[in-house]
Structure 1
């Protein structure tokens, strides 16, 4: 059955919250344990990366097959499953997995057409579009909503929520904007071009809720189910909640950037030291350099679950840090 479009008010107001900026308190809480690195394995091509993980331990991402094409994959209980591509397409990549094991995927055609896909119970479901040719999946939550972007006919991409065959149009994703994450409440975070929309972009981070934008920092990259948002503001990692933006500090350098948060409020990202960029974990007011806990400086972390497990990539290999 073709997907239907349910209208929703477009972004009509930008509510700027002047955040109360606080420095992260020093805590006597126990520091993170040492992590063991687990290579998750790949398909026949040998390359891959893990992009997301749920609290049950299901991990998704992509891996190459013989010939170099990328396929969306699921790692569960140590077994890798090739989730495939839509008929006629060449590549795919999984971007998120919910607690039901539903996987959000983008499938890529050889003609550069992309489609948002939901993998559920062993089947790929093409979600369709808002009327144009393309759609892209960004996430899936525990309400079984899929967040993505798609362009209506003759228009720029719009953000959307999809559920059970029905699209809800969240409004335009303007040039230089981004859509990065959402939670079970349907709150969407990303980058937004706000008035006066000077060239090339008067861009800020923000949370979109019911068509209203709350500006948060310079960029907003992750949100959890408690409504806590992480990203960067003026070159420093932050965690935001209820109008208060907490500066998470750095590892001795001038810069840091938070990229993911779990439902306990633990934050991962990268920070400069006096010599290089290192991955970090921020917990209970303390930022820990993860190169002192079994990671190396070039490890890339994509996600953290409620257990504190991390997934990402080490070089061209998909890895779990547990």
Structure 2
């Protein structure tokens, strides 16, 4: 990839682009909301992702019991995957998780991959302390790790797949990898606070390239990378996109959403951007186009986008302590309300328009839910 640095003129132009108002909201399509099953004895359940098969992953917590990873089938049944957190699922149904085996020195923190009922420890023979944020559809995992049992260092990075790892040319006092595409390209960051040297990086075939810098302060946090190698992420409250190595500022006062669903294959990204009065508004940054204010009352944020361009997020306009989920599709806004309780927060949306997230039960517990297009709308969704 070409070694280009971002020009100030390009950054200034991107920053100056006005928000384009979204079309008027229309309450459709209709969505059916169902609470997912819960593990016995643990009141709080959190979802982290969904694939196009309708499989959902997350965790069960509470009552002083160890956290358990959970896989929900499309029918809603919950399967206990063992101790730890489930952080993601790919299209093959492979689940990526994390387990802390020793929280004090000598440290042991291990990622794992669950596939077809078998749970395999990632980097078991290479690292004492390791963490992972993403798995691609080929089962490759982007890993940050340390060889020290006595310090929770994160100064090495690799791609692990089927028991083998490929070392990345990325090392230093503070490195992290956050995202991986199906071609194995990885997005991460390098940071040296002592010298104030910070950079986002893209790694291809093990070789890492520093990406162009921007305004803002502190470390860069890449959030997602698509198959074209486009990376989106943040530096404090500066939202950024990298195509090649050149940085484009999406918002000087905003953030790209967290996780792989911040970006789709068309290059559209979502998150929030603040207006002059400081209020946060859910926003869509189309590839090559002007930012679109989704027209959701502030404060609001967009958290995920699918390949069809459907966006989910939340607004807290009515009650700062009780968010309300929304689905934005082709300029039309649908609120995703809970079956019980008083709040709803979406996490992810698959390419069939199925949304997963959390609601609050009448006992204040955190409950996992799934919103599915109503039968009358389902065929129309599938045709899009």
TM-score (norm 1): 0.75
Matched, 1:119 2:118: no
Do the aligned partners of residues 295 and 318 (structure 1) sit closer, same or farther apart at CA in structure 2, a change above 3 Å counting? closer
Q: Which has the higher contact order (CA 8 A, sep 6+)?
A: 1
Whether the 8 Å contact between 1:24 and 1:246 is mirrored in structure 2 is no
In structure 1, the partner of 2:241 is: 207
Between Structure 1 and Structure 2, how many residues are aligned?
Answer: 303
Matched, 1:266 2:310: yes
Whether the 8 Å contact between 2:4 and 2:246 is mirrored in structure 1 is no
Do the aligned partners of residues 293 and 319 (structure 1) sit closer, same or farther apart at CA in structure 2, a change above 3 Å counting? closer
Matched, 1:96 2:96: no
Whether the 8 Å contact between 2:86 and 2:97 is mirrored in structure 1 is yes
Shift of residue 127, structure 1, vs aligned partner: 2.3
Do the aligned partners of residues 28 and 314 (structure 1) sit closer, same or farther apart at CA in structure 2, a change above 3 Å counting? closer
Matched, 1:138 2:178: yes
Whether the 8 Å contact between 2:159 and 2:165 is mirrored in structure 1 is yes
1:178-257 equivalences in 2 (<5 Å):
178-192=221-235, 203-217=237-251, 218-221=254-257, 222-234=262-274, 235-241=280-286, 242-250=288-296, 254-257=298-301
Query: More displaced, 23-32 or 232-241?
Result: 23-32
Shift of residue 57, structure 1, vs aligned partner: 4.0
In structure 2, the partner of 1:73 is: 112
Whether the 8 Å contact between 2:302 and 2:313 is mirrored in structure 1 is yes
SS in 1 for 2:187: strand
Do the aligned partners of residues 155 and 233 (structure 1) sit closer, same or farther apart at CA in structure 2, a change above 3 Å counting? closer
Shift of residue 9, structure 1, vs aligned partner: 2.4
Q: What do the CA deviations read for 1:72-110 (whole angstroms, capped 9, x no partner)?
A: 2334456654435564523x3331222222222323554
Whether the 8 Å contact between 2:22 and 2:331 is mirrored in structure 1 is no
TM-score (norm 2): 0.65
In structure 2, the partner of 1:52 is: 88
Within 2, Cα distance between the matches of 1:321 and 1:33? 8
Within 2, Cα distance between the matches of 1:12 and 1:207? 14
Cα root mean square deviation, aligned: 3.9
Within 2, Cα distance between the matches of 1:205 and 1:308? 26
Q: Look at both structures and tell me which one has the larger radius of gyration over its CA atoms.
A: 2
In structure 1, the partner of 2:349 is: 304
Shift of residue 256, structure 1, vs aligned partner: 0.7
Matched, 1:83 2:122: yes
Within 2, Cα distance between the matches of 1:93 and 1:228? 28
Structure 1 residue runs without a partner (length 5+): 1-5, 193-200
Whether the 8 Å contact between 2:211 and 2:247 is mirrored in structure 1 is no
Whether the 8 Å contact between 1:22 and 1:244 is mirrored in structure 2 is no
Do the aligned partners of residues 191 and 28 (structure 1) sit closer, same or farther apart at CA in structure 2, a change above 3 Å counting? same
Within 1, Cα distance between the matches of 2:173 and 2:355? 35
In structure 2, the partner of 1:3 is: none
Within 2, Cα distance between the matches of 1:239 and 1:271? 15
Structure 2 residue runs without a partner (length 5+): 39-56, 69-83, 275-279, 372-384
Shift of residue 137, structure 1, vs aligned partner: 0.7
Within 1, Cα distance between the matches of 2:125 and 2:190? 17
Do the aligned partners of residues 41 and 285 (structure 1) sit closer, same or farther apart at CA in structure 2, a change above 3 Å counting? closer
